[in-house]
Amino acid sequence: MTDSIGTEQTTDLAALYPKWAVIDDRTGYQGYLVQPSNLILFATAVRDDLGYDYLSSVTGVDYLPDGKMEVVYHVYKTIGGLPVVFKVQVPREQAVVPSLVSVYPGADFQEREAWDLLGIRFDAHPDLRRILLWEGFAGHPLRKDWHEPYYEEEGKPFKSRWPNGQVFRSEDKNSFQDNVQYPKGFSPEDWIPEAETALYGGIHKVQKANESSLKTDQMIVNFGPQHPSTHGVFRMAALLEGETIVDLKPVMGYLHRNHEKIGERNTYIQNIPFTDRLDYISSMSNNFGYVLAVEKLMGIKPPERADYLRVMMAELTRINSHIMTTGFLLNDLGAFFTPALYALEERELILDIFEAVAGSRMMCNYYRFGGVARDITDDVFKKVDELVNDRLPRKIDEFDAFLTGSEIVKTRCEGIGVLSAEQAVAYSTGGPILRASGIPYDVRRAEPYSIYDRFDFDVIMGSHGDVYDRYLIRIEEMRQSVRILKQVVKDFPQGPIFNGKPQYQVRVPAGEAYGRVEGPKGELGYYIVSNGKPNPWRYHVRAPSFINLTSLAKMCIGGKIADVVVILGSIDIVLGEVDR
Amino acid sequence: MDGLGILRGLWTTFKHFIDTYLEDITYRGKRYYTPEGIQRRSSSKGRGIFTVQYPEEKLPVPEEFRFIPILVYEEGPNGEKKQRCTSCGICAKVCPPQCIWIVRSNDPITGRPIPSPAQFYIDIDICMNCGLCAEFCPFDAIKMDHDYEIATTNRYKHNIYNIDKLSRPVSYYAKIRPKNYDHEEAIRAEKTSRKAGSSEAAG
């Protein structure tokens, strides 16, 4: 690694492409504004001429006062460095933007999400259906003039709570029967689910040349939403030819609660406990990304000891998440619960530490803007020391000996769910999936945040891009996390854990920020737009498990139906994050 | 050789099986249903079986553990309650799911607000146990409880807690969070001594 990566200056694209791009000169904003008609040309040039091959995030912002809808793109180089941000503005009433799926296939689900939640239509998108909500849903909830059934006020804190708080239940004010709005002309009784027709229609029938005399019928099989392999409520519709998958469509949104709308009602600090509930296996990492994004806007930095505590917790979380994934992958393979139980044993010890430091095992709510919530006590620190210097290395080796060489694991995983390096980048996969395909891309190295530039660790990389490589990468990454933790424990500094006095309402200057961390599931990003008020104007989560699912169909097609379960297990999704 | 990997895996599970019995022999009769047994099973030195038989056995909760807020009151010499809460409303404002309702009390004669809550409600169905209220309370009045066994049969009847149900004496708080309590008392003592010192200097 050279020192220049991550600090290099990006070229001025407005000077390079004066016809297509102008600099976004609003205060607190960065990047370029592009006309919708030039978007595809510009994006192709940025990808092919400048090498920004990795589309990290696509999202929309509703600028209601200006009457504009904005689509924001963040693209990166897979060799590391700073992003190029470009934006397209269209009028709210006529929100149509050309789709970038042809340039970056990874935009697929993200554009569908922007259509679903913001009502931005993407021209020439191959399959522009709602993704998180159902067809009987009225309106696009993230538009600023859309109000939820329990609507009380634009932003928290609500005035009804203090000083004359008259207690009520919102469901009593707006009872269960009346809290639903349907689109015009929609009657739930007469509704024939067109979505199903569209879904199955979307699974394009492949007319196979009549090679054999044996006539076969294609058949659609539904996995889920209630299926043990999905670890939650997730559905896949697979088109089969015999046992072979011809096409597959994931269906999600069963656990949708519109996290982003809740986030826009919340004040900045109120959002921290809500981020815990995204990927509930690794809440510390979720806190980390959000806090980094807001700190970027506020222009503050935590003290040294807080930085060390943050890294310590984030790496413990990574071990926790990876060991769970490995255990449950084996569950999906049929090694019913013995490996998962051994994984849970280590997880318990890590959660004990979280509980003693943060107060809760899973919903940690530990990071704050400018520090962390609580200091670590000496006895807990001793526990961490024991864990990283004795117990975890031993147990990871045991796990390795237990599973890696097993012939059953090998036969079931090797060569299954292969994703080539080009595909992995194109589909915007992140984390272990991307690295298993041979792209050594890790945000901790590519654009070091916090104090990751101080630690010595390797970015683990696979070469085949199959399920077995993803499994091996997780085992090896746990070893690297232990390696980082050993350095953290060795150099752990004394000092304060918070700069200044903790505030219950922080002042965030107007502007935008995109903060990202390498979460256990992949690149976890938060895009925040502030207009100087106590509540964020836009709060978007780039959820790694959601975007990793874009490549699911690609991995499954051509494989056997029994392998779908294993492939899904190797992607490692958490439905709290997929559905948000 | 084919099958060697599987045999190695089986050896790992067999070791776990043996370890459980070895530990049983080492801790003759003390491994289950005793505090030290639970401690041993849930420590990083533990071997073999690590499960805890709830509700017969319970894991001890650490001091920082948080579950549903309580309101701390001072006990007077005659057993009267004096709420620490001044109904400043910071907890209601910082609460992420907005589950705290506070009614301020007014002086019966002048009608001006006085720093004490007339009523204090928390809808514990909505409370997400984040602990922000306790973290930002400037009067150490709202704190997080340790009692997690609060299941009821009817949530509509029981799950909006009022001031009586939320209140706990300071002694209870000192019992569940001794270190935090000592720390806060030290700060309080320092403040009062400084105040006394400055008033003496002024007088």
Of A349, A352, A377, the residue nearest A364 (C-alpha): A352
Q: Give me A37's structure tokens.
A: 């008609």
- pLDDT, position A2: 41
* Whether B68 contacts chain A with CB within 8 A: no
Q: Which residues pair with A560 in a beta bridge?
A: A244
User: Which residue, A414, A229, A418, A416, is CA-closest to B5?
Assistant: A414
Mutation target vs B (from A150, A167, A362; most B CBs, 10 A cutoff): A167
Residue of A nearest to B144 (CA): A359
Do residue A162 and residue B101 have CB atoms under 8 angstroms apart? Answer: yes
Does the structure show a pLDDT above 70 at B202?
no
Please give, rounded to a whole number of angstroms, the shortest distance from the CA of A175 to a CA of chain B.
14
Q: What local confidence, expressed as pLDDT, does residue A193 receive?
A: 67
Per the structure block, which two tokens stand in for A553? 């169909």
Distance from CA of B86 to the nearest CA of A (A): 11
Name the residue facing B6 among A373, A374, A408 (closest C-beta): A408
Using an 8 Å CB-CB cutoff, list chain B residues near A269. 94, 132
In this prediction, residue A216 carries a pLDDT of: 65
Distance from CA of A161 to the nearest CA of B (A): 5
Contact between chains at A360 and B4 (C-beta distance less than 8 A): no
| Nearest Cα residue in chain A from B88 | A163
Give the model's pLDDT for residue A213. Answer: 60
- Predicted confidence at residue A473, as pLDDT, reads 92
b or e along A374-389 (b: 16 or more beta carbons within 10 Å of the residue's beta carbon)?
bbbeeebbebbbbbbe
Q: Residue B121: its chain A contacts at CB < 8 A?
A: 165, 167
Mutation target to probe the A interface, by most A beta carbons within 10 A, among B13, B17, B44 is B44
Q: Which residues of B touch A398 (CB under 8 A)?
A: 12
Which residues on B lie below 8 Å from A401 (Cβ)? 8-9, 12
Where is pLDDT greater, at B200 or B153? B153
From residue B120, alpha-carbon distances to A5, B103, B139 in Å are 55, 6, 16
Q: What share of chain B is helix, strand, coil (3-state, %, to 5)?
A: 40, 20, 40
Chain B environment of A375 (Cβ under 8 Å): none
pLDDT at A198: 58
Shortest Cα distance from A438 to chain B (angstroms)?
26
Residue span(s) of chain A under CATH 3.30.460.80 come to: 13-123
What does the pLDDT read at residue A5?
46
Predicted local distance difference test score (pLDDT) of residue A253: 87
Interface of B with A in 131-190 (CB under 8 A): 131-132, 135-136, 144, 160, 179
Contact B44 A271 (CB under 8 A): no
Please give the CATH topology (third level) of the domain spanning A259-579: Cytochrome-c3 Hydrogenase; chain B (1.10.645)
- pLDDT in tens for each of the 580 residues of chain A? 444 444 455 677 877 888 888 888 888 888 888 989 889 988 998 888 888 889 999 999 999 888 889 999 999 988 888 888 999 999 988 889 999 999 999 898 999 999 999 989 998 888 888 888 887 888 899 998 888 877 888 888 888 888 888 888 877 777 777 777 888 888 877 777 665 665 665 555 444 444 556 666 777 888 878 777 777 888 888 888 888 888 888 888 888 989 999 999 999 999 999 999 998 888 999 999 999 999 999 888 899 999 999 999 999 999 999 999 998 888 888 888 888 888 998 999 999 999 999 989 999 999 999 889 888 989 899 999 989 988 899 989 988 888 888 888 888 888 888 999 999 999 999 889 999 998 999 999 888 888 998 899 999 998 888 999 999 999 999 999 999 999 999 999 988 888 888 888 888 899 999 999 998 999 999 999 998 888 999 999 999 999 999 899 889 888 888 888 889 889 888 888 998 8
Which CATH code for domain B67-201? Answer: 3.30.70.3270
Domain with CATH 1.10.645.10 in chain A: 259-579
Q: How many secondary structure helices (H) and strands (E) does chain A include?
A: 21, 17
pLDDT over 80 at B53, yes or no: yes
Q: Please name the residue of chain A whose CA is at the shortest distance from the CA of residue B64.
A: A359
CB contact under 8 A, A502 and B9: no
| Residue A520: burial class (beta carbons within 10 Å; 0-12, 13-18, 19+) | buried
Token pair 């019995």 is found at B21
Distances (CA, A) of B83 to A481, B24, B74, B75, B170: 47, 50, 6, 9, 10
Q: Which CATH number does A13-123 carry?
A: 3.30.460.80
- pLDDT (0 to 100) of residue A479: 92
CB A565 within 8 A of CB A285: no
Among residues 35-54 of chain B, which lie with CB inside 8 Å of chain A? 42, 44-45, 50
Q: Do A169 and B123 touch (CB under 8 A)?
A: yes
What is residue A471's predicted lDDT score, i.e. its pLDDT? 92
Q: Domain residue spans in chain B? A: 1-59, 67-201
ipTM, two decimals, is 0.89
3-state per-residue secondary structure call for A393-422: HHHHHHHHHHHCCCHHHHHHHCCCCCCCHH
Question: What is the pLDDT at residue A202?
Answer: 57
Mark yes or no for CB contact B96/A345 under 8 Å.
no
